[in-house]
C-alpha cells in the first residue's frame, strides 16, 4: 500500500498524461484515469484530438459510447498491458501507472506556491481570478500552504473565459472548513446556480446519473453542494484530498468479493468521508430493495454498512440522518480481523463498460 494525492497529474515515459484517482494505492502503482494518450495508442471513430505538450494527443474519454469504449480498451490492453492492474483484493481492474513509468509528477501544492510568487500586476485575466479565488478561500482559515492547483490551471494550457479553475484542498478537515465556509460566505465575484438554473441545467444535460432523479430531486441535491461554482464568471471546482495519515482505508487490509448489481436503502449515520474520492457514506438499517435479495443470495446475518463512490457527481450527496438509496456493485467485505459487511460501490472503471453505467446512482430521499 502507498499514498499518493488524488487529482494529481502524472506524465509517463510512454507519453501519457494521467490524473491520480484516489489517495490510497497498491504497492508499486498509482491508480489513475488516463487523460491524454499518444495518437498511435488507439484508433476508431469519435476520438477527439488535442495539440498539447508539442504533441498530437487523444483525449481518453470514458463517457464515449459503450461499444466504442470496449474497442478502445481492447486496443489499450494489448498495447499497454502494464497500465491495467487486475486487483486480487477486488477481483476487479483499475487503470494504473507503474511507479517505474512515472516521468513527472505535477505537484499542485508546489505549483500554487510558484503562482503566488508572481506579482499581481504580471498576471493575466485568468490567473488574476485564480489568485483572487485562493485569497477568498483562505478567509475560511485554511492556509494557502494547504491548497494547490491542478489540470489546465497548473499546466498553463488554459483558455481564459472557457477553462475551469481547479483547486486542490489538502486534508479532510481543511476540505470541510472551506465547504462549510462557502455555505454563507459572500464575494461580489462568487455565484452559485439558483434553483431555476439547476432546473434548466437538468433539462438540457440529461446524463445516466441525472436520469435517476426527478427535476425537484436533482435541484435539491445540487443546490446544497459547494464544491463547484463560478468566480468572476469562470467555473471553479474544489477537490479535497486525504493526507497520508487520514486515508479511510489501507490497500490490502480488506478483501472485496463482488456479489452483483444491487439497489439498497439505508440511513446515513456518518458522511464525514463523502467529500473525497473514493468517498463513502456509513449507513445503518441497510437493506436490499425488495425483489433483488433472493437473486443475490445474501447472508442476512451480515450487515450492509457502506455506500462508496468513485464518481464525482455523487460526492457530498447525502447527509447524516437522511435516508439514502443507491445502486452499484454490491461487495462482500472481509477485514483482516475476520469481520464482514456488505457495501455498494459506484464508479468502478468496469461500470463504464457494462449495464451498471446506466444504473448506478446515489440519492438522498429528501423532500
What gap in Å lies between CA 269 and CA 323, rounded to an integer? 10
How far is the C-alpha of 44 from the C-alpha of 23, rounded, in Å? 33
The span from the CA of 146 to the CA of 174, in Å, is 8
CB of 25 within 8 A of CB of 32?
A: no
Q: Are 59 and 49 in contact (CB under 8 A)?
A: yes
Phi then psi dihedrals of residue 185, to 5 deg: -65, 150
Residue 285 sits in the same domain as residue 327: yes
Which of 206, 241, 276 delimits the end of a domain? 241
Q: Is the dihedral of CA 109, 112, 116, 119 positive or negative?
A: positive
CA–CA distance, 160 with 336 (Å, rounded to integer): 50
Same-domain check for residues 115 and 135: yes
**According to DSSP H, which parts of the chain are helical?**
66-79, 108-115, 125-137, 152-155, 172-181, 195-204, 215-223, 293-296, 356-359
The reply to whether 169 and 92 lie within a common domain is no
Task: List CB contacts of 282: < 8 A, sequence separation 6 or more.
Answer: 268, 269, 270, 271, 305, 306
Do 11 and 129 fall into the same domain?
no
- The pLDDT of residue 314 is 96
One domain for residues 90 and 118: no
Shared domain for 100 and 216, answered yes or no, is: no
Query: Tens-of-pLDDT digits for all 367 residues of the chain?
Result: 699 999 999 999 999 999 999 999 999 999 999 999 998 888 877 788 988 888 899 999 888 888 889 999 999 999 999 999 999 999 999 999 999 999 999 999 999 999 999 999 999 999 999 999 999 999 999 999 999 999 999 999 999 889 999 999 999 999 999 999 999 999 999 999 999 999 999 998 877 777 899 999 999 999 999 999 999 999 999 999 999 999 999 999 999 999 999 999 999 999 999 999 999 999 999 999 866 666 788 898 999 999 999 999 999 999 999 999 999 999 999 999 999 999 999 999 999 999 899 999 999 998 7
The reply to whether 262 and 229 lie within a common domain is: no
Q: Decide if 328 is inside a domain.
A: yes
The CATH number of the domain holding residue 298 is 2.40.50
Mark whether 73 and 120 lie in a shared domain.
no
| Together in a domain, 276 and 352 | yes
Any idea which residue has 483572487 for its cell?
132
Contact 61, 48 (CB under 8 A): yes
| Residue 248 within a domain | no
The angle formed by the CA atoms of residues 40, 26 and 60, to the nearest 5 degrees, is 25
In a domain, 180, yes or no: yes
Contact 140, 179 (CB under 8 A): no
Predicted confidence at residue 1, as pLDDT, reads 66
Same domain, 64 and 122: no
Q: Are residues 196 and 270 in the same domain?
A: no
- Give the span between the Cα atoms of 232 and 161, in whole angstroms: 9
Please identify, among 105, 136, 164, the residue that sits at the C-terminal boundary of a domain. Answer: 105
Angle at 109 between CA 173 and CA 310, to 5 degrees: 60
Cβ contacts of 190-193, under 8 Å, gap ≥ 24: 190/136, 190/229, 190/230, 190/231, 191/229, 191/230, 191/231, 192/223, 192/226, 192/229, 192/230, 193/222, 193/223, 193/229
- The domain total for the chain is 3
247 located within any domain: no
Of 105, 138, 153, which residue sits at a domain end? 105
Give the pLDDT of residue 94.
98
Residues 88 and 195 in one domain: no
Range of the domain at 325: 253-364
What is the DSSP secondary-structure string of 125-160? HHHHHHHHHHHHHGGGT--GGGEEE-THHHHT---T
Amino acid at each position: 500500500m502507498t499514498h499518493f494525492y488524488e487529482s494529481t497529474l502524472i506524465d509517463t515515459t510512454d507519453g501519457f498524461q494521467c490524473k491520480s484517482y484516489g489517495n490510497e494505492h497498491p504497492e508499486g502503482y498509482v491508480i489513475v484515469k488516463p487523460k491524454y494518450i499518444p495518437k498511435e495508442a488507439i484508433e476508431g471513430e469519435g476520438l477527439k484530438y488535442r495539440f498539447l505538450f508539442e504533441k498530437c494527443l487523444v483525449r481518453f474519454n470514458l463517457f464515449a459510447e459503450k461499444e466504442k469504449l470496449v474497442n478502445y480498451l481492447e486496443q489499450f490492453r494489448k498495447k499497454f498491458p502494464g497500465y491495467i492492474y487486475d486487483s486480487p483484493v477486488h477481483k476487479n481492474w483499475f487503470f494504473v501507472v507503474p511507479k517505474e513509468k512515472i516521468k513527472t509528477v505535477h505537484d499542485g501544492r508546489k505549483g500554487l506556491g510558484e503562482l503566488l510568487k508572481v506579482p499581481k500586476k504580471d498576471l493575466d485575466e485568468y490567473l488574476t481570478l485564480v489568485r483572487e479565488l485562493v485569497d477568498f478561500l483562505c478567509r475560511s482559515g485554511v492556509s494557502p500552504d494547504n491548497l494547490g492547483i491542478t489540470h489546465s490551471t497548473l499546466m498553463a494550457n488554459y483558455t481564459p473565459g472557457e477553462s475551469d479553475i481547479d483547486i486542490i484542498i489538502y486534508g479532510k478537515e481543511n476540505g470541510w472548513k472551506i465547504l462549510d465556509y462557502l455555505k454563507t460566505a459572500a464575494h461580489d465575484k462568487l455565484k452559485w446556480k439558483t434553483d431555476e438554473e439547476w432546473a434548466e441545467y437538468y433539462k438540457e444535460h440529461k446524463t445516466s446519473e441525472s436520469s435517476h432523479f426527478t427535476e425537484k430531486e436533482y435541484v435539491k441535491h445540487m443546490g446544497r453542494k459547494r464544491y463547484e461554482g463560478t468566480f468572476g464568471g469562470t467555473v471553479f471546482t474544489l477537490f479535497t484530498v486525504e493526507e497520508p495519515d487520514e486515508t479511510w482505508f489501507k490497500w490490502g487490509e480488506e478483501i472485496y468479493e463482488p456479489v452483483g448489481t444491487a439497489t439498497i436503502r439505508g440511513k446515513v449515520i456518518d458522511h464525514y468521508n463523502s467529500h473525497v474520492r473514493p468517498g463513502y457514506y456509513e449507513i445503518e438499517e441497510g437493506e436490499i430493495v425488495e425483489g433483488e435479495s433472493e437473486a443475490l443470495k445474501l447472508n442476512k446475518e451480515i450487515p450492509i454498512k457502506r455506500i462508496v463512490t468513485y464518481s464525482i457527481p455523487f460526492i457530498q450527496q447525502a447527509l447524516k440522518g437522511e435516508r439514502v438509496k443507491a445502486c452499484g456493485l454490491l461487495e462482500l467485505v472481509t477485514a483482516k480481523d475476520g469481520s464482514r459487511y456488505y457495501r455498494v460501490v459506484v464508479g468502478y472503471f468496469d461500470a463504464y463498460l457494462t449495464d451498471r453505467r446506466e444504473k448506478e446512482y446515489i440519492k438522498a430521499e429528501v423532500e
